Amino acid sequence: MALPLAQQQSIFAWGGDVPSTPEDILARYLHLREISKKVHEEVLKCVSDDALLNHARRLGLAQGKRLLLEDMDEIYYLYDLAIYTAPADRSRAIDRYAKSAMFEAQSDEGLMLDAMRRSQFAILLIEQRHDAVGLIATDILRNSKVWLLDVGIESSMHDGELIATRLLTPEAFSMTAGVMVPFEIEMLKEVCMRLPQRLANGKLSRVADDRRFAEAVYNLALADGVMDRVAYLDLADEA
């Protein structure tokens, strides 16, 4: 499975009258991230215990009706799959929540909810620091550039490193949905081996959009102990 060369294009400029100082951009990011955290908490109310257990079993984190977590942070992988993915014959929790949410379309809450519904699971190659704030990365599966804002990742990742994460893009910048996996390019072959052959042999961007891709990444990371190198920061820590 050959990886495409990254497209060189400038997509990191603010448009219109949006403030563009590093301080203003960071404040905007933190504001939207706080909204996303609250929306995640509300969406989880649309997720049944049985749905969480089903995801846990598929990740090897449950036996019968009992969760088997070596670290409580592992539950975030269940939350991610339960909120953003669903079999073809079922609706996603994020979409069910959107039907009942009373956010105004032009509000920041509405903006963030729409970004969450349009989320994309990606493998990012960290390229360099952005001139203002954040990172410039390449989504190696979609052959596109990403302006990523994430205080924890920016402080801990080096140029040339890879991460797998779910991206939310509410404005010119993207942020993570809260879950990330340190990635090595050799892992891509192993991930694809865990997918149905017909899917694994398809176009990379289509593979990434399939709900089973994120599940396979999490499954491999948990099985190989990759997540032992990850620590999650609360929003208060990011600020």
Give the residue from 132, 171, 191 showing the smallest Cα distance to 29.
171
**Assigned domain for 6 exists:** no
Chain center to CA of 117: 12
**Assigned domain for 17 exists:** no
**Assigned domain for 239 exists:** no
Sign of the alpha-carbon torsion through 201, 202, 208, 211: negative
Q: What is the mean pLDDT of residues 200-218?
A: 92
**Assigned domain for 16 exists:** no
Give CA torsion, residues 237, 43, 165, 25, to 10 deg.
-50
> The domain containing residue 194 runs over which residues?
22-234
**Amino acid (one-letter) located at 106:** Q
- Number of domains forming the structure of the chain: 1
Classify residue 60 as left (phi > 0), alpha (psi -120 to 50) or beta: left
State both tokens at 49.
Answer: 């215990």
**pLDDT score of 26:** 94
**Assigned domain for 96 exists:** yes
3 against 88, higher pLDDT:
88
**Assigned domain for 228 exists:** yes
**Assigned domain for 15 exists:** no
Q: What is the mean pLDDT of residues 53-63?
A: 92
**pLDDT score of 233:** 43
What does pTM read for this prediction? 0.86
Residue 228's pLDDT band (cuts 50, 70, 90) = low
**Assigned domain for 5 exists:** no
State both tokens at 223.
Answer: 């099985």
State both tokens at 203.
Answer: 């176009």
Burial class for 99, CB neighbours closer than 10 Å (0-12, 13-18, 19+): exposed
